Amino acid sequence: MPQSRILYRSLSKHADFDPSDFDILRTSLVNNVAQGITGFLVRAEAEFYQALQGETEALVNLIGRLSADERHSDIEILLFRNTDAPSPFESWAMSYDQFGFSNIGIAPSLPGTRTPISKEDSERIWNHMESVASADAAFGPAFAYARLPGETDLAYAKRLHLG
């Protein structure tokens, strides 16, 4: 089956660390395992960035479900490409982290606007998310809600009281 990578951003309808963030994480952990999708969800102020890898058809279906999700809006696909590379997110159905816009080299959006993201910006964001995921997996995260090295999906969900 063909594999793809998707990076999208969306606007959260809630403040940072609202319970809805953890509902998204919980839903992702359950659904992505069933679909063989791996990923990394990042909160950057009022926006979510999510990097996903899996079977192309499963990802297309997932984007359709995400578009109808009431917890966020204005989904923008930043990157969609076929790949045969292994997932940079190991066997994680999902992890969750946060970063500031300075970490990815783009200006934060002003209220009511969205900062334009170029193809080069999208690649840089994906690469940064890969790098953070790799460091989290090897050394442990700086963010309390991110995955711990070697932590299974089930152990992660239990630690965060999601399962």
Which pLDDT does position 43 carry in this prediction?
A: 87
Q: What is the pTM of this model?
A: 0.91
- What pLDDT is stored for residue 75 in this prediction? 94
pLDDT of residue 22: 87
Q: Which pLDDT tens digit goes with each residue over 7-46?
A: 999 988 888 778 888 888 888 998 999 999 999 998 888 8
Q: Residue 61 has what pLDDT?
A: 95
What's the average model confidence in pLDDT over 96-111? 76
pLDDT score at 163: 64
Q: Report, as an integer, the average pLDDT of 42-53.
A: 90
Mean pLDDT of 62-79: 92
Over residues 46-53, the mean pLDDT reads 92
Given a cut of 80, whether residue 111 has pLDDT beyond it is no
Asked if residues 99 and 148 have their Cβ atoms less than 8 Å apart, the reply is no
Mean pLDDT of the chain: 89
- What's the one-letter identity of residue 38? T
Which has the higher per-residue pLDDT, 100 or 21?
A: 21
